[in-house]
Amino acid sequence: MRTPRRRRLLVGLLFAPLLTGCFASSGSDDGDSSSDAGSGSRLKVALAFPPAENFSPYGADATLLSRLGVTEGLTALDANGSAAPALAESWTRQDDRTWQFTLREATFQDGTAVTAATVAAALTRATQAEPEPAALTGVTLTAKAAADGRITVTTAEPDPVLPLRLSSPGLAVLAPKAFAKKGAVDPVGTATGPFELTKTTGSTAATLDRFDDYWGGRAQAAGIDARFIADGTARANALRTGQVDIAESIPVAQAASLDKATRRETATARTTYLHLNTKSGAFKDAELRAAARAAVDTSAIADGVYEGHADAGQGIYGPALTWAEGKRVQPTGRAKAAAPDGTAVTLATYDNRPELPEAAQVLKQQLEKAGFKVTLEVREYSRLESDALAGKFDAVVAARNTMLDSGDPVSVLASDYTSDGGYNLSLLSDKKVDQAVAEAEGVEDTAKRQDAAMAAEALILGADAVVPLVHQRIITGVAADVQGVLLDPYERTLVGTGTRR
């Protein structure tokens, strides 16, 4: 979202803790998918967010495609949050701005071969997308096919995390056929994943069939029938009554209604934030932002709204990033809180995640107790995002997986909290923050990059641009006879070659 520029909801980990399992979508998913899996059963899956951009791989719908096993990039994320092979078998860094990637033998779902030329063309189209994919925020990238069949990717400035960046769902590789219509990108039958998108029914449903020539092995499920159900209670009911086999993002209020065997809880890098509009309205005043921050009781939200399925907010980076706690820098330079004296503010959120309206209601009560006069507005996400980015609300409650877009904790700061950021819900424009983030982006050493990210986080929190409310755990509903669901803390994958009934 430029003015506004659309961005994702919701970023894998560059420096994540060691986690069990591997979330890169490949033939190593649960079960031996390289052998003949027979015809297999179809899976019925309920997703929380309907497609908002006709399944464009460059916008919010990119993660829908990756979670359903449709699209892939040159790289993926492994269980440690490091870059792992996907369409690229390996890569080397030739100099500080140039990387070379060796492709594996693979086929697009339309039957054409994945070649250096087609990959370079796909990446080039991604750089020309409007708006640009979140992973490319602040990055100028050029992809060329080398004479030996490899891909050379060059950046205008040194980019030490480029292989990680290329794992983003927004940088998926598609066949030339996907770009046949001017101004549109069509992922139907043009991707490389284990499941081929064959039919879409508006924003309500999608049909996917197994792609038998997938390089990672034949999927064990014959296909997927996906339904997009924004209402969390309806998703839980669909699982409970057998209408679906997998239901993502079960509301905490519905968790107890499911059999324990069907509930899977996963610690994630997703945090719920209160974003304060620093550009216009009441919270342009730093003293009123400080008053709002002081009014918030995060433990009441973690224990009450999330019923213990979340941790009280600590910072932009939560406890799922184990490196963050020991490196956290105390915010400095905070303004002194002013008395609200009945200042009127509009607080907005969306209902695709059922806990958010409830959290917003609790915040409304807390802010009113502090002296604000609060109007609450709740919409479906696709009807809220553009207005939020245009600054039409004083405050926004939103959930964000900080590692979803690029896999790099510094990149989320660039997209969410800098003057040129594409998903800057706080509308923050602070020269000190911009400088700190720019410096962090150039750091290659892992530990030093972490330190730089935490220094920038302290400046953002010091400006009271955002109040971290809770660090979430995600509950996925899985029918008892379903195996191999990819419970991914980065929320990029859900079904793979080994997912089956």
pLDDT band at 8 (very low <50, low <70, confident <90, very high): very low
pLDDT band at 183 (very low <50, low <70, confident <90, very high): confident
Six-digit token pair at 163?
Answer: 């292989």
Query: What pLDDT shows up at residue 398?
Result: 97
pLDDT tens string 438-460 = 999 888 887 898 899 999 999 99
- pLDDT averaged over every residue in the chain: 89
pLDDT band at 37 (very low <50, low <70, confident <90, very high): very low
Query: What pLDDT shows up at residue 53?
Result: 86
Query: What pLDDT shows up at residue 18?
Result: 32
Residue 95 near residue 88, CB atoms below 8 Å: no
d(CA 435, CA 334): 18
Query: What pLDDT shows up at residue 24?
Result: 45
pLDDT at 19 over 80: no
Question: Would you say the C-alpha torsion 244, 189, 202, 351 has a positive or negative sign?
Answer: positive
Amino acid (1-letter code) at residue 331: P
Pinpoint the alpha helices (H) of 68-108.
none
Query: What pLDDT shows up at residue 26?
Result: 39
Six-digit token pair at 367?
Answer: 């802010």
**CB crowding 278-291: b at 16 or more within 10 Å, else e:** beebbbeebebbbb
Q: Higher model confidence: residue 255 or residue 117? A: 117
pLDDT band at 78 (very low <50, low <70, confident <90, very high): confident
pLDDT band at 137 (very low <50, low <70, confident <90, very high): confident
Percent of the chain with pLDDT over 70: 92
CB atoms within 10 A of CB 213: 14
Q: Higher model confidence: residue 26 or residue 461? A: 461
Q: In terms of residues, how long is the chain?
A: 501
Six-digit token pair at 238?
Answer: 């669909």
Query: What pLDDT shows up at residue 411?
Result: 86
Query: What pLDDT shows up at residue 82?
Result: 80
Percent of the chain with pLDDT over 90: 70
Which residues contact residue 400 at a Cβ distance below 8 angstroms, ignoring those fewer than 6 apart? 9, 10, 270, 271, 273, 412, 416
pLDDT tens string 393-414 = 999 999 998 877 777 889 889 9
pLDDT at 23 over 50: no
Q: Is 332 exposed, middle or buried (0-12, 13-18, 19+ CB in 10 A)?
A: exposed
Six-digit token pair at 278?
Answer: 């620093």
20-34, 225-239, 307-321, 353-367, range with the lowest pLDDT: 20-34
3-state DSSP assignment of residue 88: strand
Average pLDDT score over residue span 257-265? 91
Element (H, E) at 287: helix 286-295
Average pLDDT score over residue span 374-398? 96
Query: What pLDDT shows up at residue 372?
Result: 98
Amino acid (1-letter code) at residue 271: T
pLDDT tens string 330-364 = 998 899 999 999 999 999 999 988 899 999 999 99
Cα 202 vs. chain centroid, distance in angstroms? Answer: 22
d(CA 327, CA 324): 5
Query: What pLDDT shows up at residue 130?
Result: 84
pLDDT band at 268 (very low <50, low <70, confident <90, very high): confident
Average pLDDT score over residue span 100-112? 97
Element (H, E) at 122: helix 116-128
Query: What pLDDT shows up at residue 11?
Result: 32
Task: Please tell me the pTM assigned to this model.
Answer: 0.75
pLDDT band at 4 (very low <50, low <70, confident <90, very high): very low
